[in-house]
């Protein structure tokens, strides 16, 4: 993010034509059980990893106390550390109001449960539903067996998550200028109609209608 801030500042200082901003995958995170403090905490920590760590740096020019506390917790549990200097913060701060746009890539949301064990992550690369596992030490685990449809790659099909993510940006990062939905949809096994020489992409069309 420091490199991005440097590039944005240089672009603006040189008065180049065009727009400059950041594009990022922003999957929305929800607690599996919103009444369970462990699930709520797991969703918050997962959100820090995937979303707040990027958005804080881009639009606040710093990391909020909550975000940094979450980062330090995750790193300490996993034997890591974050090195960021005062100069890095100055660079982030100088660019925080200069991004012309935020591009959101959105394909799925995740539901998180509290988890105390070791990390174990299995990505479903086969397209056989049910092959995914995500358990991250110090964070939580993703729950796949919920009442939300999912793709054959275990990505949750939840258009509402895009709306919720956009509203979060509007609320928490008011210095944004505009938002582009740069990628959106669902992973789907295309069925080619040999007779009509076409793909009837009804599932994706139905998804877009729900946005």
Query: Could you list the active site residues?
Result: 183
Report the greatest alpha carbon distance in the chain: 64
**Structure tokens of 45?**
């920590």
For residue 25, the surrounding DSSP H or E stretch is strand 21-25
| Distance separating alpha carbons of residues 135 and 20, to the nearest angstrom | 36
Residue 79: CB atoms within 10 Å: 7
| 51-54 CB contacts, 8 Å cutoff, 24+ apart | 51/26, 51/27, 51/165, 54/1, 54/22, 54/24, 54/26
DSSP SS3 for 47: helix
DSSP SS3 for 102: strand
For residue 10, the surrounding DSSP H or E stretch is helix 2-13
| Distance separating alpha carbons of residues 29 and 25, to the nearest angstrom | 12
| Distance separating alpha carbons of residues 27 and 46, to the nearest angstrom | 10
| Distance separating alpha carbons of residues 164 and 150, to the nearest angstrom | 18
């Amino acid at each position: 993010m420091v490199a991005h801030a440097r590039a944005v500042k240089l672009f603006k200082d040189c008065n180049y034509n065009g727009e400059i901003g950041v594009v990022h995958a922003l999957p929305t995170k929800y607690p599996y059980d919103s009444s369970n403090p462990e699930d709520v905490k797991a969703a918050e920590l997962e959100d820090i990893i995937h979303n707040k760590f990027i958005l804080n740096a881009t639009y606040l020019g710093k990391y909020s106390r909550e975000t940094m506390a979450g980062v330090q917790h995750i790193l300490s549990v996993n034997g890591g550390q974050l090195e960021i200097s005062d100069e890095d913060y100055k660079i982030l701060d100088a660019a925080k109001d200069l991004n012309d746009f935020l591009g959101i890539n959105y394909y799925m949301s995740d539901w998180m449960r509290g988890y105390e064990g070791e990390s174990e992550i299995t990505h479903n690369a086969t397209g056989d539903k049910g092959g995914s596992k995500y358990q991250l030490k110090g964070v939580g685990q993703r729950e796949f067996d919920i009442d939300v449809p999912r793709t054959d790659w275990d990505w949750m099909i939840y258009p509402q998550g895009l709306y919720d993510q956009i509203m979060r940006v509007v609320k928490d990062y008011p210095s944004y200028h505009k938002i582009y939905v740069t990628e959106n949809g669902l992973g789907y096994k295309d069925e080619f109609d040999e007779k009509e020489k076409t793909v009837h992409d009804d599932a994706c069309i139905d998804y877009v209608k729900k946005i």
